[in-house]
Amino acid sequence: MNHGIMNEILAGDRQTMFSRDLFLLVLIAAFLSTCRMALGDEISVEGAPADSGYNVGSVATIRATVKGIAGDARRYAVFAEIQYAGTTSTTSVQMDRVAEPRQGETEYEIGWPIPAEAPTGLYTVAVRVQDRTAHRTVAIKPLRGFAAYKKLVQVSHLTLDKTFYNLGEPIQCELTLENLTEGELKNLRVEFSNANYPWISLYSREAGANPDLALKVLRDQLTLVARGTATIPMMSAGIASSLQGKQKEVMGVGAPARHEKTPPPEVDTYTVAVWNADHTILYDMQFTPPAIVRPSERDLPIPYSRNFTHPYNSDIDFAKYRNFYAPREVSPLITVDHSRTLYPPGDRLRIVGTLKNAGDEAWSGAELRATILDPAGKAVQKATLLSGIDLGAGQAQAVASDAWAIPAIQAPGTYRIRLELIGAGGRLLAATGTEIAVNTLPASVLVVCPHEDDEYSYAGLIRAAVEAGIPVRVLILTGGDVGECERYYDEPCGPNEAREFGMVRMEESREALEHIGLTRDKVDILGLPDGGSGAIWSQHIKPLNPFLSVYLACDHAPYEQVLKPNLPYARDSVIATIEQIVTDFHPALIALPHPDERHVDHRTTNWFVIKACQELLREQRIDPQTIIWGDRVYGAGGFKPAPYKYEEAVVYLSGEAAALKQEMSWIYQSQDGNLEEGMKKTFSELPRQEEHVRILDWQEHEGWNE
């Protein structure tokens, strides 16, 4: 490896912004394009690394096709420019021509040996074409980058003794472990348990080990020789039991409890985890093939796994989807534009829509009236929106009228609007209803989430800010690389699959937020490892000692489309980045997870941000009146509770905003979006509130969680 790269990394230059390097490449490419036009060349480059990532000590293969070469291809030399993202030193490796040119195209390839001591994270690649005769560069093209990872141990084989189990029967499993390193690994601990993520569910809501895990140690003090394997032969690992309902407690996801005397058949999976002796380093984790667990006297209903929309066909509602709106909630004669339904006090409610005479008789001298009802059903405003309406049969007319100057002291809540079209003589021609919600809103909002899909908890707040034109940003700390990775690929996940799965989840969040109106340029992602926030917080403080992710097998963020590629997985680096975002954006409200949530990524997201704010407060770089909210997604675990004082904080939704939020949940397809769509609620069933808490004394209690 180029010593310049290594020296820069050792000197701590990993924080140099990746965008600077990309900007320079774009400038060079633009200059070369100008030169090509002047000299008549039409050389272009296509290509990519052969894989998404490579283990350190292996060979990274890079391929490129150069088009437009006229004459002898030997006149040109093609180089792969490899750079650790965020540094300035570059390794330039000449590529080999792998085939004779055909129709103006020449193929090149190079295998770059990645040193065993190379840093993990993202490497950028550009291909440069050099004209040997003219001694000039004639083309340069940035390609997709690749990750270098350091995977130590993997579960290379995992199976159960069968697929179908009666309740109470023993479950047996067999697995093979592989040491991917050149050194011996000692004192490994192999555990089998009900499907779980250890960072969510090792402990129950009460203090102590979580009994719902049914954890069993398969091997303790296991040694793997260098590059060796070890097989744990088929052995008893657990007892088949009904897990429905417990999945929510164990994983935070899954089907609710059925509360039937004899539980129905269900589809379950189990976890094998490989730890070090003191349970502080998780080397690998894999899920078993699905098993069907059922009572010996009950085969029906047929169960379906979470890959399917409904756990049972009996859950399908054949009527609800036909009647999203009740008959009183819509009218073909009065249609309302629902793009704006959330307002702050002091704003002006404007009704926009269309009137259509779908009958055979003309309307003459009609009026459109609005009545606004508060949450208790009391009329707070009556207004005539339009009068003197004359519409012949089949004609339509647009409506855009102010209905209510919302008082600055108006109480927050969801308000019902009754629209009536009154004809001559007071005859009711048509009626419909709609809703708005009134919320007191801050001057700006920053929502900080642990994973892609956690922004859903604050979707109503985000939508309210968007509709009111209030600046809002979303920051997602992790890449979500673990949650349902195996389900997405239908096979065990290695580092490449995990990294690409993180990119799937990032795009899901961007698309989901776009659905509620927040453009993707308002979304930032750090790319921390899923499930690693607790270790980063407590054990990996400094950038020189970053946390090595179990799934990504990287200790720096290996993503291109994140805020800071190769951000060290270290607490100081995370907090410094959050501080920069807060000082640049100056949010009046910061919305976070709750500090006591049992999912380690959730509670430590709160800890990271509040610590950053406390440090900024000491330096007088943040307004002490900044409001901080907390949310409750999983609820408290058996941990030391935070010492803060709280008060209720509610965001009220209109029915249309609630419908947007429901639709948003379907976009997270990798995170049970299919199940959410299968359990869709009607307009009247949708919740009209988001319930959060305000942390009143975030400025105090510094260091309580260290």
Q: Answer yes or no: is 334 within a domain.
A: yes
CATH of the domain at 365: 2.60.40.2550
Structure confidence at residue 261 (pLDDT): 80
Give the pairing type, strands 229-239 and 185-194.
Answer: unpaired
Q: Which residue has the higher pLDDT, 251 or 171?
A: 171
Residue 104 and residue 223 share a domain: no
Give the pairing type, strands 270-275 and 185-194.
Answer: antiparallel
Residue 463 and residue 382 share a domain: no
Question: Where does a domain end: 149, 183, 205?
Answer: 149
Q: Answer yes or no: is 46 within a domain.
A: yes
Structure confidence at residue 246 (pLDDT): 66
Count other Cβ atoms within 10 Å, centred on residue 85.
24
What is the arithmetic mean of pLDDT over 306-328? 86
CATH of the domain at 622: 3.40.50.10320
Structure confidence at residue 248 (pLDDT): 55
pLDDT above 60 (res 71): yes
| Crossing angle for the helix pair 600-618 and 571-585, to the nearest 10 degrees | 60
Question: Where does a domain end: 409, 438, 467?
Answer: 438
Residue 95 and residue 184 share a domain: no
Provide the pLDDT confidence category of residue 99 given band limits of 50, 70 and 90: confident
Residue 411 and residue 454 share a domain: no
Q: Answer yes or no: is 536 within a domain.
A: no
Q: Answer yes or no: is 557 within a domain.
A: no
- What is the per-residue pLDDT across 535-566, written as a single tens digit (0 to 9) for each? 999 999 999 999 999 999 999 999 999 999 99
Residue 269 and residue 239 share a domain: yes
What is the arithmetic mean of pLDDT over 620-641? 86
To the nearest whole number, what is the mean pLDDT of the chain?
91
Q: Answer yes or no: is 170 within a domain.
A: yes
Kindly give, in sequence order, each residue whose CB lies less than 8 Å from that of residue 249, ignoring residues fewer than 6 positions away. 201, 204, 205, 210, 212
- What is the per-residue pLDDT across 228-265, written as a single tens digit (0 to 9) for each? 999 999 999 999 999 886 655 555 555 566 677 889 99
| Candidate from 119-133, 155-169, 310-324, 691-705 with smallest mean pLDDT | 310-324
Q: Answer yes or no: is 543 within a domain.
A: no
Residue 471 and residue 383 share a domain: no
Q: Answer yes or no: is 302 within a domain.
A: yes
Question: Where does a domain end: 438, 470, 498?
Answer: 438
Q: Give percent above pLDDT 70 in the chain.
A: 90
Collapse the DSSP code of 213 into the 3-class scheme (helix H, G, I; strand E, B; otherwise coil) and give the result.
helix
Domain count, the chain: 4
Residue 375 and residue 512 share a domain: no
Structure confidence at residue 699 (pLDDT): 98
Under a CB-based contact definition with an 8 Å cutoff, are residues 595 and 639 in contact? no
Structure confidence at residue 14 (pLDDT): 39
CATH of the domain at 83: 2.60.40.1930
Q: Which residue has the higher pLDDT, 306 or 523?
A: 523
Provide the pLDDT confidence category of residue 300 given band limits of 50, 70 and 90: very high
Note down the domain range covering 468: 445-520+571-695
Kindly give, in sequence order, each residue whose CB lies less than 8 Å from that of residue 135, ignoring residues fewer than 6 positions away. none
Provide the pLDDT confidence category of residue 200 given band limits of 50, 70 and 90: confident
Residue 293 and residue 194 share a domain: yes
Structure confidence at residue 9 (pLDDT): 46
Residue 607 and residue 502 share a domain: yes
Residue 586 and residue 502 share a domain: yes
Residue 590 and residue 461 share a domain: yes
What is the arithmetic mean of pLDDT over 30-54? 71
Q: Answer yes or no: is 527 within a domain.
A: no
* 368 closest CA partner among 346, 348, 391: 391
CATH of the domain at 262: 2.60.40.10
Residue 401 and residue 256 share a domain: no
- What is the per-residue pLDDT across 384-438, written as a single tens digit (0 to 9) for each? 999 999 999 999 999 999 999 999 999 999 999 999 999 988 999 999 999 999 9
Render 60-102 in DSSP notation, one character per residue: EEEEEEEE---S-GGGEEEEEEEEETT----EEEEPEE-S--B
